[in-house]
Structure formats: C-alpha cells, structure tokens
Amino acid sequence: MFQTDGFRTLDRQECLRMLAQAPVGRVVYTRQALPAVLPVNFSLDSDASVVLCTSSASDLLHAIDGVVIAFEADEFHAATRSGWSVVVTGRATVVTDPAEHERLSRTGPGSWMPLRDGVFLRIESELVTGRELNGALATQ
C-alpha cells in the first residue's frame, strides 16, 4: 500500500510563484512525431506567460511556433524527499511586435548561448498545474 497524502495540489498563484523562482525549465513538444524535451532558461512575464530566448534559426523555434506545448519546472531535495513540480500548457508564439521585443530584451531571459539574432518565444499559461511533495515517505 502506498501513502499518497504527501502530495499537495498547488493552486495557480502558488504555481506561478514557484515557477518565477526556478532558473531552468523544460519545453515538452513533438519533434518528428516523437516526444521531445529540452531544458531551457526562461522568465515568467507579467501576464504569467513563460518567455524563452533562442536563435531565429533554432530547430526549437520552428517546431513550436503556433503549437500547443507543455513547459515544466521543478525543484527537488533528495535528502528530505520534498519539492514541487509545475506544468504550464499553452500555445507557443514568436514575439513579433518590435516594442514587445525591445521590452523583453531589457527584462526577459537572456540566452545561454551568444546570439546575434535572438528571438523571444512566449508560451501562454492557458493551463497551470502543480503539486508539492512535503517529504512524507511511501510505505509498503
């Protein structure tokens, strides 16, 4: 028998608060009809959308522009068996508005790689779910 009361469902505001603290997340999308996961740095914008910065020639950009994808970030402490996971599901779009691009150039995420032609991708937070593990151990 497994004890499941160690998990707590997080509401949207708790999810966004935790997500804003995470330095790295994972884009979950489809590549050549197969699931793909890519770790990325990101920022959470004022409208609760996830923003990434990549090259205009990026395979990721072409794979997710206009597509509904998932984005996941988490934190886990093995010693205490505690942590959290948040998933954002929504449509990804390239930021094309020049003023928005300029604003994100100042306030949004930078790229881990040097870019000459940086493009911002926005993932709308249409569905935000999360759970927290409080360190309760599963028993058999």
Is residue 116 within 8 Å of residue 42, measured between CB atoms? Answer: no
Segment 94-129, tens digit of pLDDT: 999 999 999 998 888 877 777 778 899 999 999 999
Q: How much is the pLDDT for 84?
A: 96
Cα–Cα dist 39/96, whole Å: 23
Q: What angle do CA 77, 51, 68 make, to 5 degrees?
A: 95
pTM of the full structure: 0.88
Q: Which helix (H) or strand (E) holds 82?
A: strand 82-94
Question: Domains in the chain, start-ordered, CATH in brackets?
Answer: 7-133 (2.30.110.10)
Mean local confidence (pLDDT), 25-42? 94
For 135, phi then psi, to 5°, come to 100, 0
Q: How confident is the model at residue 5 (pLDDT cuts 50, 70, 90)?
A: low
Q: Any residues with CB less than 8 A from the CB of 51 and at least 6 apart, and which?
A: 42, 43, 44, 45, 95, 104, 108, 109, 120, 121, 122, 123
**Above 60 in pLDDT, residue 3?**
no
Task: Provide the percentage of residues in the chain whose pLDDT is more than 70.
Answer: 92
Q: Find the range with the poorest average confidence among 7-11, 23-27, 56-60, 115-119.
A: 115-119
**Average pLDDT, whole number, for the chain?**
89
Nearest to 73 by CA among 44, 100, 46, 104: 44
